């Protein structure tokens, strides 16, 4: 009769607990502060958990086997194989869910080990010797080893280690197993061979207290034995020998090393060993880094140090470790709430004298600490005196009026009184959604000398807002946020069909809604609109730089028609969607065309002709050719109308054409 046994080891003594009949333990995992494992045979499979001496049967799967377990993305994943197939399962809140089916048959491969590393789950397989990476949805190949089995994957010192080898066979008469085991290491980008064969067959690895443990199995004609090797300071040594037994798996749990396996004696049993591993520190130099606890409501914090090298010694610990220092749990934001006069025309006073102050963060500072320094103003009221002058209000936002859907949207609000940033007390925003009003208070920053508020819009729509303040001379600031999910449109310009890009690193791409104008005509947009463009173009546009032959718009309105233009010069834009303020032009102004987008990212290639790039030169050349033709026709006409003076037609034709040609040469020399 086979019995599953959980072994524990303390210093030099191994202990065990019998769990169930007919079963073996293949792997462990720690999840939600519990130790988890599966016991299995051909007729019964149970998922167990252990916490503070209590054993619990979490799932009874009736038949099949659990070969590996790992916690990932707040779920317990395990490889479950039964008569119907091979599955990667997830366990959440007591329920099982088949997350992804690896293969239908056991002969293909079994997941021998799983490990969460760099936000991915790495899966090692038997029968194929491959390692896959799983991101919660997709399964991709990470390593294809030269052996046909990956027995286990573990993390040691921020490196992913994997043990590989040939799949052992267990015939009726046991033969010699000549292991060809290797250990691979993965730094997050590349796999490399870390160690070649250690002798025997490597089943598992585990890292604990700066040491890496490996279990290696040796099969001879007479017996199967199991050796445990320990790796530290780049050296390997045999740590323990277990006769007539196999350790399949290690786990580091609560600073103890647990080992799971079973005996190979008659009526073998599954076992778990437990070992307390003492830390090893080799040539360790303490590196103490200062840190502080959070400032408490008594304006005190504790200074402490931690050793960056984890030497587990305190020989050089600074003597001020654990001392108490002063701090500020909060900074009271005082503002003048009452002046002796008002700035009113026609004869405003030269100075407004402050008569009383108040706290803008009373609820979040004074009420919590109840300290006199946070509740009572001890300075001079004259510090808040104001000179009657201009009050400017500046709203600083990353985009406006369009706001990205479901993304943090930081708002900075500056109040300048006589060109000095001022704390005017409570400032708040009234935000309207479907006729429902929500109020949000700004917080004052002494560092930036301005007010701050961060919003996240979880629904698309239009949100009118009003920024108000308790300060009597503050003027309400009104506006509207247009919340949409953005999409990117990339335009790349080319001079030839061979792929030569049109480059102009002084240019901008702009896109306006065609609904902003009643009529769009290509010739008008190409030849008329560029005339006086800097002063006449007042339509709000989306904009982007055109660099290295391409420019990418961030647009917000799908299924709308946009007119796209490229121009070069010096321009500024007040907001994400606003008219350009053009202070200088360099001569290029191209109308690219009208486009409608469906809200997904797109890349568009545009072939620019000479007519597009230099439209007025093209127009002059075109006119030049027509005028030459007209001069030739008029010369012939004069030749026949005035036959007695043929020289007149020749003089007219040659003179007119010569003047046109001279004009073209002058323009070519001046403009190119």
* pLDDT single digits (tens) 460-513: 999 999 999 877 778 889 999 999 999 999 999 998 888 899 999 999 999 999
Residue 58 has pLDDT above 70, yes or no: yes
**Within 13 Å and on the Cβ side, how many CA atoms surround 216?**
26
What region, left, alpha or beta, does residue 242 occupy, with left being phi > 0 and alpha being psi -120 to 50 degrees? Answer: beta
Q: Which residues are within 8 A (CB) of 129 and not within 5 positions of it... i.e. 6 or more apart?
A: 144, 145, 146, 147, 148, 149, 150, 164
The domain 487-613 is classified under which CATH number: 2.60.40, 1.20.58, 3.30.70, 1.10.3470?
Answer: 2.60.40
Q: Residue 85: which pLDDT band, with cuts at 50, 70 and 90?
A: confident
Closest to 195 measured CA to CA, from 169, 220, 216, 225: 216
According to DSSP, the residues that pair with 572 across neighbouring strands are 581
The tokens for 169 are 């066979």
Closest to 246 measured CA to CA, from 24, 14, 1, 22: 24
Q: Residue 86: which pLDDT band, with cuts at 50, 70 and 90?
A: confident
Q: 8-12, 13-17, 284-288, 316-320 — which is least confidently predicted?
A: 8-12
Share of the chain above pLDDT 70, in %: 77
Residue 191: exposed, middle, or buried by beta-carbon count in 10 A (0-12, 13-18, 19+)?
A: middle
pLDDT mean across residues, the chain: 78
If you average pLDDT over residues 452-467, what whole number do you get? 93
So where are the chain's domains?
3-275, 288-326, 334-387, 391-481, 487-613, 617-671
Alpha carbon of 211 to those of 2, 309, 368: distances in Å?
33, 15, 48
If you average pLDDT over residues 181-193, what whole number do you get? 84
Output the pLDDT for position 294. Answer: 86
If you average pLDDT over residues 252-264, what whole number do you get? 70
b (16+ CB within 10 A) / e for 290-317? eeeeebeeebebeebbebeeebeeeeee
Per-residue pLDDT tens over the stretch 337-372: 888 887 776 777 778 888 888 887 788 889 999 999
Give 382's DSSP letter.
G
Residue 566 has pLDDT above 80, yes or no: yes
Residue 599 has pLDDT above 70, yes or no: yes
Output the pLDDT for position 82. Answer: 76
Residue 69 has pLDDT above 80, yes or no: yes
Same topology, domains 391-481 and 487-613? Answer is: yes
Share of the chain above pLDDT 90, in %: 21
Residue 257 in contact with residue 215, Cβ under 8 Å? no
Output the pLDDT for position 605. Answer: 93
Output the pLDDT for position 497. Answer: 87
DSSP count for the chain of H helices, then E strands: 7, 49
Q: 50-64, 398-412, 434-448, 491-505 — which is least confidently predicted?
A: 50-64
Residue 132 has pLDDT above 90, yes or no: no
Output the pLDDT for position 638. Answer: 72
Domain made up of 3-275: CATH architecture: 6 Propeller (2.120)
Closest to 614 measured CA to CA, from 663, 561, 668: 668
Output the pLDDT for position 126. Answer: 79
Q: Where are the beta strands (DSSP E) in 265-342?
A: 270-275, 288-292, 300-307, 324-326, 334-339
The CATH H-level (homologous superfamily) assignment of domain 391-481 is Immunoglobulins (2.60.40.10)
Q: What are phi and psi of 28, to 5 degrees?
A: -125, 160
The tokens for 526 are 């190409």
Q: Residue 446: which pLDDT band, with cuts at 50, 70 and 90?
A: confident
Residue 323 has pLDDT above 90, yes or no: yes
Residue 375 has pLDDT above 50, yes or no: yes
Residue 249 has pLDDT above 90, yes or no: no
Residue 571 has pLDDT above 50, yes or no: yes
Q: Where are the beta strands (DSSP E) in 32-144?
A: 34-40, 45-51, 54-60, 65-72, 75-82, 85-92, 95-103, 110-117, 120-126, 130-134, 139-144
Residue 55 has pLDDT above 50, yes or no: yes
H/E element, 660: helix 646-671
Q: 331-335, 398-402, 627-631 — which is least confidently predicted?
A: 627-631
Q: 95-109, 216-230, 242-256, 505-519 — which is least confidently predicted?
A: 95-109
Per-residue pLDDT tens over the stretch 381-404: 888 787 776 678 899 999 999 999
Per-residue pLDDT tens over the stretch 138-157: 878 888 887 778 878 888 87
Mapped onto helix, strand or coil, the DSSP state of residue 268 is coil
Q: What are phi and psi of 115, to 5 degrees?
A: -150, 135
Q: 22-26, 131-135, 171-175, 627-631 — which is least confidently predicted?
A: 171-175
Residue 333 has pLDDT above 60, yes or no: yes
């Amino acid at each position: 009769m086979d019995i599953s046994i959980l072994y524990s080891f303390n210093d030099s003594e191994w202990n065990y607990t019998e769990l169930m009949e007919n079963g073996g333990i293949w792997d462990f995992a720690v999840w939600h502060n519990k130790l988890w494992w599966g016991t299995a045979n051909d007729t019964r499979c149970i998922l167990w958990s252990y916490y503070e001496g209590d054993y619990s049967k979490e799932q009874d799967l009736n038949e099949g086997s659990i070969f590996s377990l790992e916690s990932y993305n707040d779920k317990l994943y395990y490889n479950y194989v039964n008569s119907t197939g091979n599955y990667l399962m997830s366990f959440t809140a007591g329920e099982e869910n088949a997350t992804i089916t690896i293969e239908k048959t056991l002969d293909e491969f079994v997941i021998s080990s799983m490990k969460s590393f760099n936000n991915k789950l790495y899966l090692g397989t038997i029968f194929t010797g491959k390692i896959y990476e799983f991101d919660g949805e997709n399964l991709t190949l990470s390593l294809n080893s030269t052996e046909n089995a990956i027995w286990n994957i573990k993390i040691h010192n921020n490196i992913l280690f994997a043990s590989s080898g040939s799949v052992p066979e267990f015939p009726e008469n046991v033969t010699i197993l000549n292991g060809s085991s290797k250990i691979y290491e993965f730094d997050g980008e590349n796999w490399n061979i870390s160690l070649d064969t250690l002798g025997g067959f490597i089943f598992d690895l585990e890292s604990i207290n700066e040491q890496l443990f490996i279990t290696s199995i040796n099969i001879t004609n007479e017996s199967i034995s199991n050796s445990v090797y320990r790796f530290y300071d780049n050296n390997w040594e045999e740590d323990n020998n277990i006769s007539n037994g196999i350790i399949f798996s290690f786990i580091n749990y609560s600073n103890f090393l647990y080992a799971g396996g079973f005996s190979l004696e008659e009526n073998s049993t599954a076992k778990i060993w437990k070992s307390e591993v003492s830390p090893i520190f080799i040539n360790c130099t303490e590196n103490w880094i200062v840190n502080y606890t959070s400032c408490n409501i008594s304006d005190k914090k504790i200074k402490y140090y931690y050793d960056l090298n984890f030497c587990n010694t305190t020989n050089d610990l600074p003597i001020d470790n654990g001392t108490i220092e002063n701090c500020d749990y909060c900074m009271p934001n005082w503002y003048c709430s009452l002046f002796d006069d008002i700035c009113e025309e026609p004869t405003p006073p030269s100075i407004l004298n402050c008569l009383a102050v108040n706290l803008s963060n009373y609820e979040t500072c004074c009420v919590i600490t109840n300290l006199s320094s946070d509740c009572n103003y001890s300075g001079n009221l004259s510090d808040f005196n104001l000179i009657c002058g201009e009050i400017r209000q500046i709203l600083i936002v990353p985009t406006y009026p369009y706001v990205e859907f479901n993304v943090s949207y930081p708002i900075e609000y500056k109040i300048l009184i006589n060109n000095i940033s001022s704390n005017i007390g409570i400032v708040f925003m009234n935000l309207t959604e479907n006729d429902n009003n929500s109020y949000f208070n700004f917080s004052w920053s002494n560092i930036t000398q301005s007010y701050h508020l961060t919003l996240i819009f979880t629904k698309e729509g239009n949100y009118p807002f009003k920024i108000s303040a308790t300060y009597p001379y503050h003027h309400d600031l009104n506006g509207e946020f247009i919340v949409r999910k953005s999409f990117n449109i990339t335009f790349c310009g080319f001079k030839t069909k061979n792929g030569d890009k049109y480059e102009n690193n002084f240019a901008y791409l702009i896109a306006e809604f065609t609904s902003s104008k009643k009529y769009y005509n290509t010739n008008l947009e190409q030849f008329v609109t560029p005339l006086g463009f800097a002063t006449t173009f007042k339509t709000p546009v989306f904009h982007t730089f055109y660099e290295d032959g391409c420019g990418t718009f961030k647009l917000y309105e799908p299924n709308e028609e946009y007119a796209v233009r490229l121009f070069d010069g010096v321009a500024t834009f007040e907001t994400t969607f606003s008219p350009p303020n053009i202070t200088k032009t360099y001569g290029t102004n191209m109308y690219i065309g009208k486009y409608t987008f469906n809200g997904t990212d797109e890349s568009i290639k545009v072939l620019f002709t000479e007519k597009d790039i230099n439209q007025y030169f093209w127009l002059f050349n075109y006119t030049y050719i027509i005028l030459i033709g007209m001069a030739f026709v008029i010369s012939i006409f004069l030749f026949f109308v005035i036959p007695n003076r043929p020289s007149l037609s020749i003089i007219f034709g040659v003179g007119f054409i010569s003047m046109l040609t001279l004009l073209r040469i002058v323009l070519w020399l001046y403009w190119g």
